[in-house]
Amino acid sequence: MTQRRKAPVYMFFVDLDLARRLEMAQAWRGVHYANAQRTLRPETHSTVEAVAGGFAIYAGEGSPLNKAVGLGIHDPVKQADLEHVERFYHSRNAAPRVSVCPLADPSLVDLLKASGDRLEMFYSVLVRPLDDESRAGIPTPTLALARSAGASVPAQARVQITQAKPKDADLWIRTTGQGFTGQEAPPQEDLVILSPNFYAANATCFFAWIDGQPAGGGGMYIHEGVVEFGGASTRPAFRKRGVQTALLHARIDAARKAGCELALVVTAPGEDSQRNVERAGFRLAYTKVVVIGL
């Protein structure tokens, strides 16, 4: 009886140096987002301030980007740093939020505990290298598509991916808005939140097409050899047809051609998005928490 050969297991160790690269890629995505929002809508008073090796980011009232990122990843955090964060957000009538990497200097957690901040949410940071897939045992795009489809001709093969051009901004924002909200006419406030994903200085955006119709979209955001994939959604009428898988692998290829060495994705723990990117070779680097102050 012939035994089935097992695929090689791809593993890596997340040390402080790798965590620093991932944290800075996330932080700079927020910085570029806030800068784009300030240009698009000066009335939001979007701004960024450097603090404790990271950044306090404010991108307008109610923005999900309103949090401090990258604190303590390079050096210990001081009480004055947290006071800086609190002043930054309180002066804008926003609650101070801090995104905490588990590899950050322990001083950050000690100060947050002493200040009485409360845990707000968890999220997963997943990563994969973009070089030498065969040696690492990572599924190639072709194999991953076929396996996920469970057929010799995958459904994803019928999805066409194109890079969005500057003239496509409104269509890309509306398409991703339709995917995120599930509505053909997304509320204006949602479009305001999505717009900087297209206009950020480090953004490259893509469409997925089915039968000539925009089925979904997604972006990639590069910082010093690390690419973050985000801003991706599928319009309701085109779900369960391989749109996100096709978008993911197209962005992997584009990032590799752009010279990126690592790719990261942020998801809520245990959701479908995490399972989908793990099928494409991503592995959990660590789980982060967001804490919120008074």
Domain ranges of the chain: 16-124, 131-260
In the DSSP assignment, the letter for residue 102 is T
Residues of the chain with pLDDT under 70: 1-11, 132-157, 294
d(CA 292, CA 53): 19
Side-by-side strand order, sheet with 97-100: 47-51, 54-58, 67-69, 97-100, 283-292, 118-129, 262-267, 226-234, 213-223, 203-210, 160-163
d(CA 163, CA 251): 10
Residue 294: per-residue pLDDT? 67
Token pair of 278 as six digits: 């793990």
Helix (H, G, I), strand (E, B) or coil at 176: helix
Residue 148: per-residue pLDDT? 38
CA distance from start to end of the chain? 65
Which CATH fold would you assign to the domain 131-260?
Aminopeptidase (3.40.630)
State pLDDT tens for residues 238-283.
Answer: 999 999 999 999 999 999 999 999 999 999 999 888 999 999 999 9
Q: Which residues of 244-253 are buried (b: 16+ CB within 10 A; e: fewer)?
A: bbbbbbbbbe
d(CA 250, CA 141): 9
